[in-house]
Amino acid sequence: MKRLTIKRIAINTGGGDAPGLNAVIRAVVVSAVNRGWECYGIRDGYNGLLEPKKYPEGGLIPLPKSKVRGITHLGGTILGTTNKGNPLQWPMKGKDGKPHETDRTDELLKAFKKNKIDALVAVGGDGSLGIANVLAQKGLRVVGVPKTIDNDLDKTVITFGFDTAVSFATTCIDRLHTTAESHQRVMVVEVMGRYAGWIALESGVSSTADVILIPEIPYDIHKIAEKIEDRDKSGAKFSIVVVAEGAKPKGGSFSVVSKEIGRAEKLGGAGERVAKEIHEVTGKETRCVVLGHLLRGGTPTTFDRLISLRFGAAAVRALAEGQNGIMVALDPPTVRYVPLADATHRMKTVPLDCDIILTARDLGVSFGD
């Protein structure tokens, strides 16, 4: 491995925010400064380098230790982040006045050089780490840190942000049991997770939901109705149904609310759709609660803080060892390095024979199949 003398590194946070980002930032800054390196933060993903004029205080901000003091427990990211503005598909206005996707990675590489950045710690999900992989292949020294509440990144047992999201979702679903029972209703709870069902599965099982609908198992509304009616007959006149935003009926499609150029399609409405169909088929009163961005906020759990600090420190150690084009990953009990290309190759969805699915079925949970 070619050891490059590192004097200055940058860190950026991309994609949806997640509890733990600031813990990663602090671990990277303190580890780097303790090695005598300078550390800079890029604002809002890569925007701070691609659109510097939009930042009066500068798109690339110095990160001394003082800047990261006391942020480990704070949700969000002090650098800002973005879910749009992918340098590989930057929406630029064409001659026809319409936005066209433009590749601005070469311009980005020049900006790194101009600012004398020797290496980048890219903190993000599949989208951001996919961009980081392209930059690594084009010659930038890059180490990735796996972030997303969805836990859908491959090659790591878990991403930071996920534990906090599942813990909060479980608390919310717990609260719904009493109101559902009091009104003999079916309470439907929609949770985030994009095209993977991890949040719905783990929060649903933990909060003893009766039905859990995930993208990996397209549902049959009549099977859901059967489960609800069986509960009614057994005397439990209420049910809790947890729906992943990417859940879809057999032969049906995702519930999409919008699709903008340069952005992933925005999912939404799956919970309301299921609540309406349950009412139509069973006649029972239903209500739907969408947890949405509540799952992205809040202070990270102890687990997420610790894994974030471990990931951040490991990313700097990897750079110091001369690593490049890798992502730090949790492979219990240790943190390993995996090639970025492997980590961003496919989405980690819920295996249908995984232990949590088997446990749920043993406990009588219906997946609508």
Which residue lies nearer to ligand F6P by CB, 118 or 216? Answer: 216
Q: Are 213 and 266 in contact (CB under 8 A)?
A: no
Which residue lies nearer to ligand F6P by CB, 185 or 194? Answer: 194
Least Å distance between CB 94 and ligand F6P? 25
Gap between the Cα atoms of 293 and 297, Å rounded: 7
User: What DSSP character marks residue 331?
Assistant: E
Which residue lies nearer to ligand F6P by CB, 239 or 308? Answer: 308
**Residues found near ligand F6P in the complex (CB under 6 A):** 16, 83, 125, 148-150, 192-194, 245, 266-267, 296
Least Å distance between CB 267 and ligand F6P? 5
Q: Which residues sit opposite 186 in a β-bridge?
A: 239, 286
Least Å distance between CB 97 and ligand F6P? 26
Size (the chain), residues: 369
Which residue lies nearer to ligand F6P by CB, 292 or 364? Answer: 292
Which residue lies nearer to ligand F6P by CB, 245 or 304? Answer: 245
Contacts of 302 (CB under 8 A, 6+ apart): none
Contacts of 231 (CB under 8 A, 6+ apart): 210, 237, 238, 239
Instruction: Verify whether residue 44 is a known catalytic residue.
Output: no
CA 366, chain centre distance (Å): 26
Q: Pull the structure tokens for residue 346.
A: 């496919």
3-state secondary structure 66-123: HHHCCCCCCCCCCCCCCCCCCHHHEEEECCCCCEEEECCHHHHHHHHHHCCCCEEEEE
Least Å distance between CB 194 and ligand F6P? 4
Any alpha helices (H) in 260-354, and if so which ranges?
270-282, 302-320, 340-343
Least Å distance between CB 46 and ligand F6P? 16
Backbone angles phi, psi at 14, to 5 degrees: -130, 160
Gap between the Cα atoms of 85 and 46, Å rounded: 8
Least Å distance between CB 84 and ligand F6P? 8
CB burial readout 328-343, b (16+ within 10 A) else e: bbbeeeebebbebbeb
Gap between the Cα atoms of 278 and 84, Å rounded: 35
User: What DSSP character marks residue 177?
Assistant: H
Which residue lies nearer to ligand F6P by CB, 146 or 193? Answer: 193
Active-site pick, 44, 118, 126, 150:
150
Least Å distance between CB 147 and ligand F6P? 9
Residue holding tokens 């990996």? 216
Angle subtended at Cα 249 by Cα 278 and Cα 251, rounded to the nearest 5 degrees: 140
Q: Which pairing describes strands 99-102 and 90-93: parallel, antiparallel, or unpaired?
A: antiparallel
Which residue lies nearer to ligand F6P by CB, 125 or 215? Answer: 125
Q: Which residues are catalytic?
A: 150
